[in-house]
Structure 1
């Protein structure tokens, strides 16, 4: 299924040491398990060769093209359900969005003076205006 989507080799020369299928399986194994590249089992080929193929195809957009074409194929066959679920428990607002004071831009508003309000002294005694 993947073979028609893969780029064709352009360079003639000696045959590759590792089959492309082995390297792609090694890349899939590494991505699925999350292990470091150096820990890819030898049955998938040299880890350096698998990493080189992965990075080369990542840079030239081959992985994106393969993913887009497989996704289009699966969508045309009604194999994908496009349900969207947003879990709001992981969405957090910034502290400023919650009404917290911002440094440097806070100004105190003074209440308007009115004739009915009387000022008080430090001892609490009222002073006539």
Structure 2
């Protein structure tokens, strides 16, 4: 299966924060990178968990692991790790999105009785 979302550099930053490594106590998870790819696939497509392609594993197993990671704040730690150097390649401000309040445009405000 092609790795479409994560680059090797991104995975290197995320890997130390993932649960289920061999050095962790308790059971170890499957492939952490494949699991993160599955979570990113769900986020990217907006599909329900049941529509997860079988190449990522059983949807219920992936969902249970996702729920465990949410409870352990793993995604917050991963986000903090990868957001230390933001890539501003796609950052932009568009005037069709950012609206100025009418007072900032110089418009006359309020209702007035005109003669």
State TM-score, norm by structure 2.
0.57
What do you get for the CA RMSD once the two structures are aligned? Answer: 3.5
Distance (whole Å) between structure 2 residues aligned to residue 40 and residue 61 of structure 1: 23
Who wins on radius of gyration, i.e. which is larger?
1
Contact 1:57–1:63 under 8 Å retained in 2: yes
Report the number of matched residues.
95
Higher fraction of helix = 2
Query: Which of the pair has the greater relative contact order for Cα pairs under 8 Å at 6+ separation?
Result: 2
Structure 2 residue 52 is matched with structure 1 residue 45: no
Q: 1:54-90 CA distances to partner (integer Å, 9 max, x unpaired)?
A: 2222233211111111121xx2xxx623886444544
State TM-score, norm by structure 1.
0.51
Distance (whole Å) between structure 1 residues aligned to residue 37 and residue 90 of structure 2: 29
